[in-house]
């Protein structure tokens, strides 16, 4: 999924956007990791047949990213 597609298909609720902003600030997430987290969140939301990414989808994706990078929240 290209960046333009990410913007199109990875729609976040306001709460999820705030959660993502917090994760970026507190965990120092890079632009590359940001894209990956959005894509993983989209996959999780798709598994629940959700059209919009909810905070719990994003939270799960951030958790996977932290495990991948050995970051502890």
What's the CATH number where 8 sits? 1.10.8
Say how far apart CA 11 and CA 8 lie, in whole Å.
7
pTM: 0.83
Reduced to 3 states (helix: H, G, I; strand: E, B; else coil), residue 15 is helix
Residue 14 lies in a domain: yes
Say how far apart CA 8 and CA 25 lie, in whole Å.
24
40 phi and psi, to 5 degrees?
Answer: -65, -40
43 has a pLDDT exceeding 60: yes
> In this predicted structure, what is the pLDDT of residue 72?
52
Mean pLDDT within 61-67: 84
> In this predicted structure, what is the pLDDT of residue 31?
86
Residue 73 lies in a domain: no
> In this predicted structure, what is the pLDDT of residue 52?
96
Q: In the chain, how many domains are there? A: 1
71 has a pLDDT exceeding 60: no
pLDDT tier at 59, thresholds 50, 70, 90: very high
10 close to 38: Cβ distance less than 8 angstroms: yes
- Residues spanned by the domain of 59: 3-68
CA distances (Å), origin 70, targets 3, 52, 53, 62, 66: 26, 28, 24, 12, 6
């Amino acid at each position: 999924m290209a960046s333009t597609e990410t913007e199109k298909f990875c729609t976040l609720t306001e709460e999820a956007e705030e959660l993502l902003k917090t994760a970026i600030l507190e965990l120092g997430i890079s632009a590359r990791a940001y894209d990956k987290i959005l894509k993983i969140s989209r996959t999780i939301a798709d598994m629940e047949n959700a059209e919009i990414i909810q905070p719990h989808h994003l939270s799960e994706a951030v958790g996977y990213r932290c495990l991948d990078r050995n970051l502890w929240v």
